[in-house]
Structure 1
Amino acid sequence: MSDAPETDPSCAVAHGEARPETGDRTLVAVFASPVAGFLLRYGADLGYRGILVEPDDERAAAADLGAGVVTEMPPGLPAGADVVVTDHHRGELGLVLRDALAADARWVGVMGNPRHAGPHVEALRALGVDEADIARVHRPIGLNIGSRTPAEIAVATLAGLLADRNGRSGGFHF
């Protein structure tokens, strides 16, 4: 039995003694919005490579959210990409979701109030998307922390993504 303290990799990272292993993480924020800006900014601190998908050419040209901007979902998303749609009122909702599902994203979610039916379901059905793929779309997204501001919504969403990646439900129960 050794008197040396047990080495915990998480503890070593927290104390700056080791670099975190985040793997190859890609976060795709769909639609230029205040929430997308915080997702991409905070996501970079968590080891995500950020991509903004903004189908509207004018909005894409004006977007300055600190990530690469494209006007359509990249067909060859990296394995394990997480896609977060930040506006469920946009006309392109069904198209971007269909393309994210076809690109085989690891996780796809749409922001929205859980008390209202998600418009993504009918949009995807109208495009002929299979019910099994429609069921892959998460809504609501993020941990239930009572988020109100764009920054809080981004924190809740990213915390939910990390919990999902780590096989955890999130929250304070261990």
Structure 2
Amino acid sequence: MAANPADTPHDPACEVAHGTAEPQVTERTLVAVFASPVARYLLAYGRDLGYDTVLVEPDRDQAPDGAVPAVPELDGTADVVVTDHHRPELGELLRDALAHPARWIGVLGNPRHEGPHVAALTALGVAPDDIARVHRPVGLNIGSRTPPEIAVATLAGLLADRNGRPGGFEF
């Protein structure tokens, strides 16, 4: 027997999902560091999710239109994702991001190996507590392999963290 809709508790999220109410908008910024295929999808999907997006690319030869060459001023609404851990600028750009009160900072990479950001930041004299602010791995463990899948996993992880949820299928 179907439940009577009048007996169902009011759920504002359901109304948003059905388009009968506007979502509550909170300010948030997504900063993708380094122009890469993953960054392209992160920024596109991030805009769809309501993020203000910024691409940081210090190499002028690789920088698409709209990219900035250095980490901009960041506040507590900013989530920073470094999309290439092989770049020589890794340490400097992370150091610069850590100098701001960004909400979340992470580096993509294989979780079975220590990230090269640790040595790069240590060599720059960054304090261990600041180095520990850098998340790795990033995103939800969904077995992602392609740039769009990595972007989806990363954004899902950021949303779960932002909303105080574990991610996955636990509710």
TM range (shorter): over 0.9
1:73 aligns to 2:71 (yes or no): yes
1:173 aligns to 2:170 (yes or no): yes
Return the alpha-carbon distance in structure 1 between the equivalents of residues 61 and 22 of structure 2.
39
1:10 aligns to 2:13 (yes or no): yes
The residue type equivalent to 1:6 in the other structure is: P
Match runs of 1:17-166 below 5 Å: 17-60=20-63, 63=64, 68-74=66-72, 76-166=73-163
SS in 1 for 2:149: helix
TM-score (norm 2): 0.93
TM-score (norm 1): 0.92
Please identify runs of 4+ aligned residues in structure 1 that moved more than 2 A: 3-7
Return the alpha-carbon distance in structure 2 between the equivalents of residues 126 and 94 of structure 1.
8
Q: Give the number of aligned pairs.
A: 166
Runs of 5+ in structure 2 lacking a partner? Answer: 1-5
The residue type equivalent to 1:16 in the other structure is: G
Deviation at 1:5, TM superposition (A): 4.7
Could you tell which deviates more after superposition, 84-93 or 20-29? Answer: 20-29
Q: What percent identity do the matched residue pairs reach? A: 70
Runs of 5+ in structure 1 lacking a partner? Answer: none
